[in-house]
Every structure is written in structure tokens, then in C-alpha cells.
Amino acid sequence: VPVDGSHWLSMRELLDMLAQKGHEVVVVAPEVSLQIKPSKTFVMKMYPVPFTQEEMDRVFKGSIQDLFEEGSFLERVIRQYHQAKKTSALFLATCTHLIRNKELIRYLEESKF
């Protein structure tokens, strides 16, 4: 169960190597993500989340843009705090919807994931 972003980029190389050695690799991921995409080297088990790709992209682009916005130190810190709250809410929703997905959890339990 990967974490999106740079964690996934590091994990992806490891998963490719495991697949080359003959291991069956199953990746559990939300339908909306920054970096996690289907591949021929592993099986994807995806689950729905309550936000769109556009919403996620907007939150992350907003975080980057805020770094370069003008303003006092306090204004910049407050903007970054608000962006961190938005990002945290996305990740929390991602985790919550995985845990509440009874069908996927049942598959994971039955396959001894």
C-alpha cells in the first residue's frame, strides 16, 4: 500500500525488481493519485475516493504557488498552514476510504495480503 509522491517513486523501482524476480506484486491505491499509475509489472487494486484528480492537482499546485507568493512572513506561514490542512484532508480521506471499502478489505484478508 504505497504512499503517493516521492515515496511511490522510490517504491516503484523496488516493485519492478520484485516482479522481474518472479514475485506477484499487488498495489493497493486510490483511483486518484499524483504518481501511482497502472503498470504491466504489477496488479492494481484501486478504490474510489471522494475527490477528483483536478481537485487533488489544484491543492498540490496551490501549495507550490504559495511558496512563491509575496507577503509578510506571518501571511506566508498562514497560507502554508491552510495548504497543509487541505493536503492532510486529502490523505486522510484516502486512508478512510480504503479502510471503509469492505469489498477490498475482504479481498486483502482472503488473499493474506
pLDDT at 32: 95
The answer to whether residue 9 scores a pLDDT higher than 90 is no
Across the range 51-72, mean pLDDT stands at 89
Whether pTM > 0.85 for this model: the answer is no
pLDDT digits (tens, 9 = 90+) for 12-25: 999 999 999 999 99
Bridge partners for 27 per DSSP: 44
Task: Spell out the residues 6+ positions from residue 21 whose beta carbon is closer than 8 angstroms to its own.
Answer: none
- C-alpha span between 24 and 41 (Å, rounded): 9
Cα 60 from chain centroid (whole Å): 12
Each domain of the chain, given as residue ranges in start order, spans: 6-111
